[in-house]
Chain A
Amino acid sequence: QVQVVESGGGVVQPGRSLRLSCAASGYIFSNYGIHWVRQAPGKGLEWVAFISYDGAKETYADSVEGRFTTSRDNSKNTLYLQMNSLRVEDTAVYYCAKRMDTSPYTLDIWGQGTMVTVSS
């Protein structure tokens, strides 16, 4: 069964850092790019970042560029999101989502998300 599972969320003060993880199973992790998407409470989905299958290419939304960094460890089938200089507006459920087999610009498998709350 193909799945991705996020972890690492919690409550953090503004300006501090947090690292999220996304553990993948049921498929060849090193063959697929993977995305981070977030959803603030009561709001819509916002694309956050993408990393290519080999980690060579990363792209970010303007709202997190320079503060967030995504990386992956293909030997551990795990994706990471390092979030620095956190702001109140970064409060959201963070999802990781796998790129689709047959369509490289589509997200087909999503995790259940991990909640990040930025508050003093």
Chain B
Amino acid sequence: QSALTQPASVSGSPGQSITISCTGASSDIGYYNYVSWYQQYPGKAPKLVIYEVTDRPSGVSNRFSGSKSGNTASLTISGLQAEDEADYYCFSYTTASTYVFGGGTKLTVL
């Protein structure tokens, strides 16, 4: 159950777009379309922003989008805003019937 690999940090200026990658294996991301992404502010519970690779829950801004290619999933945030500054985690189901998170990425809005 190795954690999915995410960059430790990414940054961007307001209005720009950023992409956070999440690399797994053929036994998790590469096998299923069950990748979700969570946003977490310091001291707060995580919040779902993308599920099943590309779907957005009701109430989440359409500036958030997801994609997948092979064993790597990605979260893109367009039109970056100060309120997007947070930690982001990917999450996937695995062929062992377990689940795994990515190590997390700290997004800084410059």
Residue of chain A at shortest CB distance from B55: A103
Assess A110 versus B99: contact at CB under 8 Å? Given A47-B91, A105-B34, A105-B93: no
Assess A44 versus B89: contact at CB under 8 Å? Given A61-B98, A106-B48: yes
A/B pair count, beta carbons within 8 Å: 71
Chain B residues positioned under 8 Å from A107 (CB to CB) = 36, 38, 46, 48, 91
Q: Which of B1, B38, B44 contacts A62 (CB 8 A)?
A: B1
Interface residues contributed by chain B, number (CB under 8 Å): 28
Is A44's CB under 8 angstroms from B46's CB?
Answer: no
A54 at the interface (CB under 8 A from B): no
Query: Among residues 1 to 35 in chain B, which have CB atoms less than 8 Å away from a CB atom of chain A?
Result: 1, 3, 32, 34
Interface residues contributed by chain A, number (CB under 8 Å): 24
Q: A residues engaging B (CB < 8 A)?
A: 35, 37, 44-47, 50, 59-63, 95, 97, 100, 103, 105-108, 110-113
Is B3's CB under 8 angstroms from A44's CB?
Answer: yes
